[in-house]
Amino acid sequence: MMQNIKYWLSEHPTVVNFRWNNAQSWGSTWSFLFAAISTYVVAATFLHVFLNLVLPRNRRIPLGPIPAIHSLAITLISVVTFVGILLSTAAEIRETSWSWRRTHTTAFQWLLCFPLGTRPSGRVFFWSYVFYLSRFLHLLRTFFSILKHRKLTFFQLFNQSMLICMSFLWLEFSQSFQVVAILLTTLLYSVVYGYRFWTAIGLPSACFPFVVNCQVVLLVCNLICHFGVLLLHVLKGGCNGIGAWTFNSVLNAVILLLFMNFYVKMYLRNKKIGDASSAAEQSNGGQMNLKDKDS
């Protein structure tokens, strides 16, 4: 069975012979990227405004099992992508490590820093392409949030749009660091969306903000890896796609700042609610003590 998995995920001709180009890869043009992001932003904004005009703000639209099915689908796709790129990375290292000897490059360095002249073809880039396509499935969560919670934020639109853009840049410029980024992200998505599916079908949730904490861990890991790429770029004489990596780093920094702002606000709001609950309990306890004394 393991041999079959290895064949289908890392040795199949479709995987091995993958080429990122306009003729063979759907969604590989700049015009498609801009059109897709623009359509997403306009559609989400229009739906949010339209619902606010025709329905009361507290009126929620039930979605039934759709969010659970969506979470399950992303979980499965993330697991397959994680295993696929892991096996493909091992195969690429096994087959090309001989060419690194003259530059004294290790497998870990290759994961963070592609050699100059790397082309977007082969196993690793096939799974990068799968990851890029899967980003469009993530966009549905924005519409679920609008319909179910009647909520749309700038962070949602910006975050989803920029993640698609970054995935596109990974392929377009054969950007370094993408292997580690995909491994970390798909591993986290497997856990997070598995948890969302778990809670969506009515099973108990965690007693702490599980999803938010996982996202913080991912952002911190990405930040550490970005420093590693920069260090290797300086010491090893250059990493492929460093221009795209720079743009990627700026976007990651902006997303990190927006996310931390959201995280702090959520923490303060929960703390305020907790303090109010504690004060109410103390007040009720004091009233009960007075009644006991009166009796």
- Total domains in the chain come to 1
Q: Are 256 and 247 in contact (CB under 8 A)?
A: no
**pLDDT-derived band of residue 128, with 50, 70 and 90 as boundaries?**
very high
Q: Specify the higher pLDDT residue, 207 or 77.
A: 77
Residue 98 has pLDDT above 80, yes or no: no
| Bridge partners (DSSP) listed for residue 19 | 121
How confident is the model over 54-88, as pLDDT tens digits?
A: 988 788 888 999 999 999 999 999 999 999 999 99
Helix (H, G, I), strand (E, B) or coil at 292: helix
Cβ atoms of 180 and 225 within 8 Å: the answer is yes
Q: Residue 263 burial (CB < 10 Å; 0-12/13-18/19+)?
A: middle
122: containing domain: 2-294
| 151-199 pLDDT, tens digit each | 898 888 988 999 999 999 999 999 999 999 999 999 999 999 999 999 9
Residue 132, pLDDT score = 97
- What pTM value is reported for the model? 0.87
